[in-house]
Amino acid sequence: MTGEIIAIALGLVVGLSLGALGGGGSTLAVPILVFVAGLQAQDATTASLLVVGVDSGIGVISHFRNGNVRLGAGVAFGVAGIAGSRLGLLVNRSLDENVLLLAFSALIVFVAIRMYRSAQPSASDPDPAPANSTPHPDADDRPDPASGVAIKERVATTPKLDLSPAALAKLAGAATLVGVLTGLFGVGGGFAVVPALTLLLAFPAKEAIGTSLVVIAINAAIALTMRSGDIGFDWAVVAPFLATVTVGVVVGTRIAKDIDAGRLTRSFALMLGAVAIYTAASTLLTA
């Protein structure tokens, strides 16, 4: 019971990181639910889908009100990831729990590295604009709210729209990858969605971020529907955990403009690295 209470309290940490930093927090959900609350790995990834789905839905509402969501494109991208979600679920069901946790550790390391690098200031220009980009009038310093990675937005890129077969193939590949990650690990995969929307569909950064939340919410809903017959976790633990995460998201969003996002993102990325090491070490020691 003590572990379950601690896990519920740690939901605030997950939510605060999602709200204040915009990404990475959802990758903490699975380790917390496994090693603190005592859930099985497969059940923890399913519970994580609830966290990802609900909190991305909250983000969609906020971004939609600000005109930063292209709903049609988000729905199309999300639907394109259905096959990937199914594939990820099949792999999730077939993997040994220890193998799943080790693979998840590798994913956490990847997300941590991306977050840390995205928050690193440049020696010459803190946030230079790419050669083929133009400043976006609404650009600011908020990190990417899509679960998985923080992205600076001081200069929003608007590259030329590329609808070549190669670009469309990359877009389909990105949609499939996001679906696989969501179905397999219960994470949002925003680090794949946002670059795809900005580089391939020429979305301004804010619209890419807002639209990515639609994609994440759809993928999470699809993956949860596919797992509906396999939900076996304890709602007495997961429901309060989800509630505290949601509270953390709301609070984190309110304080986001008052914090040094770059420094906090780097610190959080280092913490993610430590969590990845702990997850891998604990899994290997108990295998």
Which range of residues forms the domain containing residue 106? Answer: 2-286
Q: What is the dihedral of CA 269, 16, 145, 237, to 10 degrees?
A: 100
Task: Provide the mean pLDDT of the chain.
Answer: 80
pLDDT tens, 233-278? 788 888 999 999 899 888 887 777 777 778 888 888 899 999 999 9
Contact 33, 47 (CB under 8 A): yes
Q: What is the pLDDT of residue 265?
A: 83
pLDDT interval class at 132 (50, 70, 90): very low
d(CA 83, CA 91): 12
Tally of structural domains, the chain: 1
